[in-house]
Structure 1
Amino acid sequence: MKITVYISFLLAGLHAVAHGQVSPSHQKGHDPNEHKYHMRHRGEAIACLKLVPNNADFAFQFFKEVTLEAPNKNIFFSPVSISAAFAMLALGARSTTQTQILEGLSFNLTEIQEKEIHEGFHNLIHMLSHPENGVQLNMGNAIFLTEKLKPLKKFLDDAKALYQLEAFTTDFNNPTESEKQINDYIERKTHGKITHLVKDMDPQTVMLLASFVFFKGNWEKPFKPEHTEEREFFVDAETTVKVPMMHQTGRFDFYFDEELACTVVRLHYNGSATAFLVLPAKGKMKQLEQTLVKEIIQHWSDHLFQRMLSLYFPRFSISGNYEITNTLSKMGIVDVFTDQADLSGITGAPELKVSKVVHKAALDVDERGTEAAAATAAEIMPVSLPPTIEFNHPFLMLIFDRDTNSTLFIGKIVNPTLTS
């Protein structure tokens, strides 16, 4: 009988998005300061760049699986959080279990060595935890262990060095106390955005792994609260809800994808993060979500152009709470959840398996931005009214880190009035 391990992956909330000029994976139009920043981090960037295509493949494959499981619900998760946590778990996995985890994360082990994967994640976590000014982004991992479970020194040392792991002793025989310890830690690390991550814990649990990402950004050009008004949002053919719709007229990065029948608007945060807002034509969401791959994002990046728009975008807060064991199993990560699991690299003995994987995420989007800088710009408006783009039916929101090209968050907003 295997000892079970409870794993939780989570992340916390965003505040607002901003307007700029650099795509997540097709960087052009850098200013000199941005170039210097990239040169300073060149070594780290090279190490983690090898991960980028694989992490992106995992992100969109996971998205497809989740949308199939919950076709008409809000979705929000952090693929980079899940990837990093399972890569850390692979440190302690052996034989087929390890191979399944790494291949399930979309790594081709004939093209990239395990050592390169761990070094890449080490540099990725470091870069994401030290972003440019304007974005607050914290990423880390924690392990909670029963006192009787003695992990191998090599596993703990490697996990601390590569994945910024923090280790804590926990009495799982006292579920109330252990839940409080874990939830308090996560709440503190995510600045109050993720609460009550774990509940109804099994007293048989001997170890819990947690991965967190906290992100907060501001718009370069904030929406003015006085321009926000209540407007209709069409959830589906039968359901209409009222939402606070933010409004701004100006020049935005824009593209219409005729093949996928969707409108793309790219917005930037102050700092190194960027977002794609993707509005499919009514009835075209399923086609979009099942064909979305990294090459499509690249195509959008390459074909965006500046256009004067009257943009309406809802103010909303949503969260996602997932038990993702089945999702990962469908993606090939199977043995680690069964008695076939080999996690002997953690304790030296094979009597360990993962019992449960929880991923919790939260997203806030509002008008907030930075204080006005000491500069004045006069926007010349055309006499004719610009075209209106209104995000008033289900849309996607994809958030990237430009310095690492990492997919930080993927969201599908079906009903912005529902918090989950």
Structure 2
Amino acid sequence: MKRIFALLLAAVSLISLTACAQPEAKTASKYQLAAPQYPQMAPYPDETKFSRPNGDFDSDGFNQVYNAWQADRRKQTDQPEGYTDALDSYLRAVIPQLLTGGSGENKVCSPINIYMALAMLAEVTDSESREQILALLGSGDVNALRAEAAAVWNANYCDDGAVTSILANSLWLSDKISFKQEAMDALARYYYASSFRGEMGSAAFDKTLQDWIGQQTGGLLKEQASGLTMDKETILALASTIYFRAKWNGEFSEANTVPDTFHADSGDTTCDFMRQRGTNTYYWSDRFSAVSKPLE
């Protein structure tokens, strides 16, 4: 396990959860070795196109288009039965290691991003390292891992105008080492990953990495990405981002947001509280409490 997490030190895992502009599917660059093809999805139907001049709404016409859109979405998100079974042991092993020992600070992690980074690492390594990663991910061999990783990626992918949810992955290689194009093509096909090769530590290659992260996250991580650089000694780096955009099922009113006291482990602090009337599911435990708030 320690060896696996040491290998992860070469990986960059950046997370953006927000509502903003749609990211680019891929980055064109002279450094690029392979690029993924993201699935095409039917767009969410525009309700305004079904309003008649007299003010009536064409329900039959809208329902026909809506049903086609819904069927197309199910075709994308419905994956082989049991495809998440292999994730169970992985999640139980990884999440406690990532979320413990916070020294009083809140922690956040994206297990799926780390899963995809480890899966890509298994694809480009061999021998004992590959066997350890496969064991952690619950995969019998690389062929099984490819199918499982593709299912995980596709189940989380959506880009239909109503919801944007994109896992973007990439591999960055030093130009001082050789590579196999079939391996880069496999990364693009099964892990939907772009691959790049250039001079590690150069301003131009660092800028390509920063631009890729910015495009995949709608420009929301511009400040964080601008500080990312790669050392000249680096041979391989992995980057995995997640971009999510959706509307709340019920929007919060800004007029109902007021300062109040939050009781933290370190003491009371004043912060803004969003308030809303309604019924939501509430969870509580010895160490945390949470409320469920659905999205569209």
TM-based fold match above 0.5: yes
Structure 2 gaps of 5+ residues are 1-7, 21-65
Q: Per-residue deviation at 1:261? A: 8.1
Q: 1:371-410: per-residue Cα shift (whole Å, max 9, x none)?
A: xxxxxxxxxxxxxxxxxxxxxxxxxxxxxxxxxxxxxxxx
Which residue of structure 1 aligns with residue 198 of structure 2?
170
String of CA shifts for 1:72-103, please: whole Å, max 9, x gaps: 11211211011011111111222221111122
Is residue 135–residue 269 contact of structure 1 (8 Å, CA) maintained in 2? no
Query: Are residues 249 and 163 of structure 1, via their aligned partners in 2, closer, same or farther at CA, if it must alter by over 3 Å?
Result: same
Within the candidate set 49, 52, 63, 2:95 is matched to 63
Aligned to 1:248: 276
- Answer yes or no: is the 8 Å Cα contact 2:156–2:165 preserved in 1: yes
Q: Which has the higher contact order (CA 8 A, sep 6+)?
A: 1
Relative to structure 2, which stretch is displaced further, 72-81 or 59-68?
59-68
Q: CA RMSD in A?
A: 3.0
Q: 1:203 aligns with which of 232, 239, 260?
A: 232
**1:167 offset after TM fit, Å?**
2.0
Aligned to 2:295: 269
Determine the structure 1 residue equivalent to 2:79. 45
Does the C-alpha gap of structure 1 residues 7 and 256 become closer, same or farther in structure 2, counting only changes over 3 Å? closer
Does the alignment pair 1:72 with 2:104? Answer: yes
Q: 1:80 is paired with a residue of what secondary structure?
A: helix
1:149, distance to aligned residue in structure 2 (A): 2.3
Q: What are the Cα deviations for residues 102-129 of structure 1, in whole angstroms up to 9, with x where unaligned?
A: 2223x163xxx43222112113223322
Structure 2 Cα separation of the partners of residues 185 and 108 of structure 1: 30
Match of 1:12 in 2: 16
Question: How far, CA to CA, are the matches of 1:250 and 1:208 in structure 2?
Answer: 46
2:213 to 167, 186, 191: 186
Q: Does 1:87 find its partner at 2:119?
A: yes
Aligned-pair CA distance for 1:169 = 2.7
Is the 8 Å Cα contact of residues 145 and 169 (structure 1) preserved in structure 2?
yes
Secondary structure in 2 aligned to 1:205? coil
2:163 maps to 1:135: yes
With over 3 angstroms needed to count, the CA separation of the structure-2 counterparts of 1:267 and 1:261, relative to structure 1, is same
Contact 2:11/2:239, CA 8 A, preserved across alignment = yes
Structure 2 contact 201–229 (Cα < 8 Å) conserved: no
Aligned positions, number: 241
Verify: 1:229 aligned to 2:258, yes or no. yes
- The 2-side partners of 1:171 and 1:243 are apart by 46
Q: Secondary structure at the match of 1:178?
A: helix
Equivalent residue of 1:73, what SS? coil
Query: What is the TM-score normalised by the length of structure 2?
Result: 0.70
Pairwise CA distance, 1:211: 1.4
| Offset from partner CA, 1:280-330 (integer Å, 9 cap, x none) | xxxxxxxxxxxxxxxxxxxxxxxxxxxxxxxxxxxxxxxxxxxxxxxxxxx
Report how far residue 242 of structure 1 moved: 1.1
Do 1:50 and 1:120's aligned partners in 2 also have CA atoms closer than 8 Å? no
- Greater strand share, 1 or 2? 1
Cα distance in 2 for partners of 1:138, 1:247 equals: 30
CA deviations over 1:217-245 (Å, ceiling 9, x no partner): 21010111101110111112x52111110
1:145 aligns with 2:170: no
* 2:147 and 2:190 in contact (8 A); partners too: yes
What letter corresponds to residue 79 of structure 2 in structure 1?
A: A
Residue number in structure 2 paired with 1:219: 248
Aligned residue type for 1:266: S
TM-score by length of 1: 0.51
| Cα offset, 1:56, TM superposition | 4.4
Q: Quote the residue 1:21 is aligned against.
A: none
Structure 1, gaps ≥5 residues long: 17-31, 271-420
SS across alignment from 2:79: helix
Contact 2:175-2:200 at 8 Å conserved across structures: no
Aligned partners of 1:5 and 1:206 also within 8 Å:
no
Question: Is contact 1:59–1:80 with CA below 8 Å preserved after alignment?
Answer: no
Identity %: 19
Misfit runs of 4+, over 6 Å: none
After TM superposition, give the deviation of residue 200 of structure 1 in Å.
5.4
